[in-house]
């Protein structure tokens, strides 16, 4: 809220303490025309808290907390990042469903109510994932090539099921919510979603994902620790470095709604096998010890994800283009960023 007591438009970020939240807060806090409200189950580090108008510790399943938020702030945009990732969700599928689906439903409902209050559509940015795809085996995956949004929507993980269903919920809230009600209600949710590939950050580590081997491999090498990779060398999925992920989220949030021909978009930067990743890491850190010790079950999940995704609609509708193709990702972001992170050099 401003010092005059007038409510300013606010951006709410859930899961703000995760690795996407960290980068997003950094970017969004550079603009002063909105309040920035961070919500996370854990307290954020002090340097991140400082960048937000308010930083709230709480659970997206807590209805009272969400009501309090609505009474205090005029929310115009929501980046709903809170989720249990794919590996973690397989250990606690029921909890994952509650957090990933019921949590999203709560936030969509909050967006709808906010829109009714202030009369403007609430933008709802939702990171989805390549985990919504489910290819039956590695041979089919090889043949499939770059997969379009409508293909192979048969997820094999709880997380993938949750993300795919929430994409549908977002579309429902945007176009069909309460379609049989006698009184025509304002459909105030403007849902926009990106299906992210594996994300790699030079600074933060993901928790509980299945594409984490890429991040773990690079960071272990930089720390001079041996790494046992849990997928085989030939396992291949698409990736993107964190600055591109943040840029794509913000670009999708800013594009005029008339330009959107769909509500869920693939985005990608490059595809690599775990073996190719190893070569690049060893080139940068010649003393790195990386062994392939596949975990059959986790490797099977990676086999069910496409080797590449077709992001033509994002390129056409809102000019999506990665700033970091593979060589630049390593030479200008990952390697220097990781060296700075660990050595301060």
> Which is closer to ligand SER, CB of 158 or CB of 189?
158
CB of 156 to ligand SER, least distance (A): 12
Per-residue mark of binding to ligand SER, 188-217 (x: CB under 6 A): --------x-x----------xxx------
> Which is closer to ligand SER, CB of 196 or CB of 324?
196
Q: How many residues bind ligand SER (CB under 6 A)?
A: 10
CB of 2 to ligand SER, least distance (A): 37
> Which is closer to ligand SER, CB of 86 or CB of 278?
86
Distances (CA, A) of 116 to 103, 104, 107, 122: 20, 19, 14, 10
> Which is closer to ligand SER, CB of 34 or CB of 298?
298
> Which is closer to ligand SER, CB of 36 or CB of 242?
242
CB of 315 to ligand SER, least distance (A): 21
Query: Which position has the token pair 């991140």?
Result: 48
Segment 226 to 285, residues that bind ligand SER, using CB under 6 A: none
> Which is closer to ligand SER, CB of 16 or CB of 75?
16
CB of 132 to ligand SER, least distance (A): 9
Contact 197, 267 (CB under 8 A): yes
Record the tokens describing residue 245, joined without a space.
């992920």
Segment 77 to 116, residues that bind ligand SER, using CB under 6 A: 85-86
CB of 200 to ligand SER, least distance (A): 10
Q: Is 224 exposed, middle or buried (0-12, 13-18, 19+ CB in 10 A)?
A: exposed
> Which is closer to ligand SER, CB of 197 or CB of 313?
197
Segment 138 to 177, residues that bind ligand SER, using CB under 6 A: 159
Among 37, 96, 131, 217, binds ligand SER (CB under 6 A): 131
> Which is closer to ligand SER, CB of 188 or CB of 198?
198
User: In the beta sheet, which residues pair with residue 236?
Assistant: 273
Position closest to ligand SER via CB:
209
CB of 241 to ligand SER, least distance (A): 13
Among 100, 106, 114, 129, binds ligand SER (CB under 6 A): 129
Residues making contact with ligand SER (CB under 6 A): 85-86, 129, 131, 159, 196, 198, 209-211
């Amino acid at each position: 809220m401003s010092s005059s007591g007038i409510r300013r438009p606010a951006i709410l970020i859930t899961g703000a303490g995760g690795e996407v939240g960290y980068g997003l807060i950094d970017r969004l806090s550079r603009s002063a025309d909105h309040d920035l409200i961070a919500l996370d189950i854990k307290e954020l580090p002090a340097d991140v808290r400082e960048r937000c108008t308010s930083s709230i510790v709480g659970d997206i399943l807590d209805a009272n907390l969400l009501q309090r938020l609505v009474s205090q702030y005029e929310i115009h945009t929501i980046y709903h990042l809170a989720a249990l990732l794919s590996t973690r969700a397989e250990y606690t599928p029921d909890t994952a469903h509650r957090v990933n689906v019921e949590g999203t439903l709560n936030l969509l409902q909050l967006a709808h109510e906010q829109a009714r209050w202030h009369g403007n559509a609430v933008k709802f940015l939702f990171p989805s994932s390549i985990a919504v795809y489910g290819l039956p085996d590695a041979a089919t995956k090889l043949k499939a090539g770059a997969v379009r949004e409508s293909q192979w929507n048969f997820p094999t993980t709880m997380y993938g099921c949750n993300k795919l269903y929430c994409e549908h919920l977002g579309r429902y809230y945007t176009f069909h919510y309460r379609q049989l009600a006698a009184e025509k209600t304002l459909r105030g949710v403007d849902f926009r979603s990106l299906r992210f590939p594996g994300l790699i950050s030079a600074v933060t580590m993901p928790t509980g994902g299945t594409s984490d081997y890429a991040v773990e491999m690079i960071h272990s090498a930089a720390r001079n620790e041996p790494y046992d990779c849990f997928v085989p060398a030939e396992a291949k999925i698409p990736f993107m470095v964190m600055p591109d992920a943040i840029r794509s989220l913000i670009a999708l949030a800013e594009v005029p709604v008339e330009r959107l021909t769909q509500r869920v978009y693939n985005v990608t930067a490059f595809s690599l096998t775990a073996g190719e990743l190893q070569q690049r890491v060893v080139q940068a850190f010649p003393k790195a010890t990386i062994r392939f010790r596949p975990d059959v079950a986790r490797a099977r999940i990676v086999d069910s994800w496409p080797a590449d995704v077709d992001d033509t609609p994002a390129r056409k509708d809102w000019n999506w283009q990665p700033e970091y193709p593979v060589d630049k990702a390593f030479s200008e972001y990952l390697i220097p960023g990781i060296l700075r992170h660990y050595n301060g050099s």
